[in-house]
Amino acid sequence: MTTDDYGLSRALQSAWGIAPAPTKGPRPRLSLEQIVTTAVELGDRDGVDAITMSGVAKRLGSGVMSLYRYVESREDLLILAADAALASPPSSSTHESLDDDDGWRVRTAAWATAMRRTYQAHPWLTALPITSEPLMPSRVRWLEAGLACLAGSGLGGAEAISVVTLLWTYIRGDVELGASMGASVPEVDDVNAFLAGRLRAMAPPGEFPRMLAILDGEVAGGSDDTDFELAIDVILAGVAARAESADRLATDAPSDRR
């Protein structure tokens, strides 16, 4: 079967390096790599809305129409830029670079931390649907690395995919929340005290006692990484508990004596 049989978009073919090279027209002055790199730079500097065909063309000193020789639409430009920004998981997050003694939880936590750093470096990625093109190279590489890290957890294939997807969704949300909080909360010595005071000023007395107790009892500052590590550990502890429960059920199941 050919690429046409699977309905592969030009963006997908370009990302995998299997798109046919143009055979007509003048010798190209630009390259797809230049265009995509520029798109990522614009996103990093000014956000996702800055990634446009006209914005990239202006940055490269080129006409907008010349970009269409390489990219069919802004949607494809965003897909390719996201793929380039996500890139591949660093070796420190893959199972090959860690000792077997570290275990699947350490490997998976390293994978999650590496992905979070990638999203923090390119926060505009959180504005794009995770399903915009699920088979882009970067997504497949991160998924494959995540599944490799979970090897030994006792999960089946479908369960492992669900856990990787859960972690990925949480990581995106964590980075997006951090960026939005940074934009909405002024620089104060104690963020929690500020939020508690603001909530008391708006809410009727006596409401939200649990939220206020937490905000009053914990001093904010430099705890984002700690909160993230705790959340990942809780998720992975749940995975471990599920696997242990499945093992006990399998061990305790009556044998077939027929």
For residues 124 and 226, membership in a common domain is answered with: yes
For residues 74 and 115, membership in a common domain is answered with: no
For residues 62 and 95, membership in a common domain is answered with: no
For residues 19 and 69, membership in a common domain is answered with: yes
Ordered DSSP codes for 162-192: HHHHHHHHHHHHHHHHHHHHHHHS---S-HH
What was the pLDDT predicted at 252? 53
Choose the final residue of a domain: 36, 58, 86: 86
Answer whether 110's CB lies under 8 Å from 84's CB. no
Q: Could you tell me the residue range of the domain that residue 19 belongs to?
A: 3-86
What was the pLDDT predicted at 163? 95
Q: What is the CATH number of the domain that holds 177?
A: 1.10.357.10
What was the pLDDT predicted at 250? 52
For residues 81 and 14, membership in a common domain is answered with: yes
Cβ neighbours, 10 Å, residue 255: 5
Q: Report residue 50 CA to chain centroid gap.
A: 20
26, amino acid identity: P
For residues 133 and 10, membership in a common domain is answered with: no
Ordered DSSP codes for 99-137: -GGGHHHHHHHHHHHHHHHHHHHSGGGGGS-TTSSTTSH
Q: What is the CATH number of the domain that holds 82?
A: 1.10.10.60
What was the pLDDT predicted at 257? 45
Q: How many domains does the chain have?
A: 2
61-83: pLDDT as tens digits:
999 999 998 999 999 999 999 99
For residues 238 and 126, membership in a common domain is answered with: yes
Choose the final residue of a domain: 20, 52, 86: 86
What was the pLDDT predicted at 9? 85
For residues 24 and 103, membership in a common domain is answered with: no
For residues 131 and 239, membership in a common domain is answered with: yes
What was the pLDDT predicted at 82? 95
For residues 174 and 227, membership in a common domain is answered with: yes
For residues 15 and 109, membership in a common domain is answered with: no
The per-residue pLDDT string of the chain (258 residues; one tens digit each, 9 = 90 and over) reads 455 657 788 888 988 988 877 666 666 688 999 999 999 999 999 999 999 999 999 999 999 999 998 999 999 999 999 999 999 998 744 444 455 557 999 999 999 999 999 999 999 999 988 766 778 999 999 999 999 999 989 888 999 999 999 999 999 999 998 887 766 666 666 778 888 898 999 999 999 999 999 888 865 554 678 889 999 999 999 999 987 776 565 555 555 544
Choose the final residue of a domain: 35, 70, 86: 86
Distance between CA atoms of 142 and 164, rounded to whole angstroms?
A: 9
For residues 39 and 140, membership in a common domain is answered with: no
In a domain, 245, yes or no: yes
